[in-house]
Amino acid sequence: MSHLLALLLASAIDGEGALRHASALAALGPHPWGSPRNQAAAQYVAAELRQAGLAAVELQGFESHGVRGTNVVATLRGPSDEIVVVCAHHDTAPESPGAYDDGGGVGVLVEVARVVAGQPLRARTFAFASFDGEEADAGGRGTTVGSRAWIERLGIGARRIVAVLAIEMSGWSGGTPLAHPIAYADPRRKGATVVSPAWLVDAALAGSREAGSPLGVGDPWLSWVYQPAVRVFRVRQHGDDLSFLQAGHPALMLSDSSFSAYYPHYHHASDTADKLDAAALERMGTAVLGAARALDRAPRGGAGETRWFAAFGEIVGPVALLAAGAASVLPGLRAGFATGGPGLAARLLQAALFGVLLWRHTVAALFVFLLPNVLPPLRRARWVTLASLAPLCSLVALGAAAWWRGAVEGVWLAPWEMAVGLGALVLAFLRPPGGRTARRKRSRR
């Protein structure tokens, strides 16, 4: 009986263990990239990964912007040389001890590594990495420099990366385990963005549910607004998923912080270990473990698909989204053909403008225009207008609130795309006079 209990404990995330690691790192005080304290943090993480049962642990030095840093990478070989990467970062913002951001993520990383190392049935190789220099941009010296250095170090071997789970802020009792598929600039295509691909998000959600700690998407209460919002607004925050996505590798950030429950001590000197909760770290660790196990067996997918939407725990793909968008203009076109003349011309133009936005910004366009496309042609009333504008208003309100918090620095849409959107919205509510119906009424008189 005691042997069975030991096996069960070994296969489960230990929240107290994760809290111990986060507390030890926070006890160093602020340890930004390049500082002696941060070197001590790297040494601590390496020692704890070895203690967790991983023999192949490397301290990998790198230099960027004249500053030296150290990544900690532990490799757990599997039957395949394809790599599932689970990562966090051990450096902090210059003024913060970083218990929640960033020690909580490292604590979860070590615990997940311990459990995976104790279970030999794996299909793929795992890399557990604690990166340095994730907070480098806090000093204006680049972004996620440690993970970028590791990708560069892999060279052609980076092609073996199947998926990346980047663990960020973790361990707050008020938080909820969440996947954060944030849009980032695509350096390979001007004006384009990269987002976590649908297959990766789907696998992570399914795996976390199976593990008993289901991940939400973006926010526990505002998920449906969050998803178009992070595709419209340039969010300042990021994790090491940024490096991998911009290099063409599927990656997803995981955290238990959200817009509606945002950790109040983020990047402050008050981010100390007494703010952390072992039960919250256990929830987060269980979700990450479930996602990692799912990715170990998931079919390999690409990194480029951005047209997807998560609803009720499922992923709606591009075909369904584009079909829904096309269907949404049918009531307006039907009304346009009924009136003819200017009414038909206005509806055809509105459908064309909407089609451009639907193709370029599928999720945001469908979120904003679905109700305006469908409801006004069916019924003209004030409440219909207000209801149709509710999605747009909620999106703008969320973006404005995020901007006020300093979390947003602009929008992804080009000026001409915003002009197209405004034109399509005005035409959706426009009721031009005249046309065949009006002429028939006049002839009857």
Confidence at 140, pLDDT banded by 50, 70, 90: low
Contact by Cβ (8 Å): 167, 258: no
pLDDT above 60 (res 370): yes
Return the closest-CA partner of residue 417 out of 374, 359, 372: 359
Q: In this predicted structure, what is the pLDDT of residue 55?
A: 92
CA of 9: how far to CAs of 2, 3, 112, 379, in Å?
A: 10, 10, 13, 60
Question: What pLDDT does residue 86 have?
Answer: 98
pLDDT on residue 442: 42
Residue 5 pLDDT grade (very low, low, confident, very high; cuts 50, 70, 90): very low
- At residue 438, the pLDDT reads 45
Q: What is the mean pLDDT of the segment spanning 415-438?
A: 81
C-alpha span between 323 and 243 (Å, rounded): 33
Extended beta strands in 132-239, E state: 161-167, 178-180, 184-185, 193-194, 216-217, 233-235
Residues of the chain with CATH 3.40.630.10: 11-315
Lowest mean pLDDT among 82-91, 163-172, 424-433: 424-433
Model pLDDT, residue 3: 46
> For 135, which DSSP code?
T
Q: How far is CA 186 from CA 117, 194, 395, in A?
A: 35, 5, 23
Q: Residue 163: which of 97, 96, 100, 248 has the closest Cα?
A: 248
pLDDT at 165 > cutoff 90: yes
For residues 201-210, give the mean pLDDT. 98
3-class secondary-structure state, position 339: helix
Judge whether 90 and 161 are in contact, CB under 8 Å. Answer: no
Counted residue by residue, the chain has a size of 445
When pLDDT is cut at 50, 70 and 90, the band that residue 190 belongs to is confident
pLDDT band for position 139 (cuts 50, 70, 90):
low
- The CATH code of domain 11-315 reads 3.40.630.10
For position 305, what pLDDT does the model report? 79
> What six digits make up the tokens of 175?
């938080």
Measuring CA to CA, which residue among 277, 387, 366, 374 is closest to residue 332? Answer: 374
Q: Please name which of 56, 20, 58, 18 lies closest in space to residue 42, comparing C-alpha atoms.
A: 58
Distances (CA, A) of 263 to 32, 100, 108, 258, 399: 20, 9, 17, 8, 18
**Highest mean predicted confidence (pLDDT) among 178-187, 304-313, 338-347:** 178-187
pLDDT of residue 381: 78
pLDDT per residue as tens digits for the range 270-299 = 999 999 999 999 999 999 999 999 999 999
38-71: per-residue pLDDT in tens?
A: 999 999 999 999 999 999 999 999 999 899 999 9
pLDDT at 136 over 90: no
Q: Which of 61-65, 137-141, 314-318, 415-419 has the lowest mean pLDDT?
A: 137-141
* Amino acid at site 177: P
pTM: 0.94
Task: Provide the mean pLDDT of the chain.
Answer: 92
Amino acid, res. 261: A
Residue 89: band (very low, low, confident or very high) from pLDDT cuts 50, 70, 90? very high
Look at residue 344 and tell me whether its pLDDT is greater than 50.
yes
Stronger pLDDT, 379 or 55, i.e. the higher one: 55
- Mean pLDDT, residues 73-100: 97
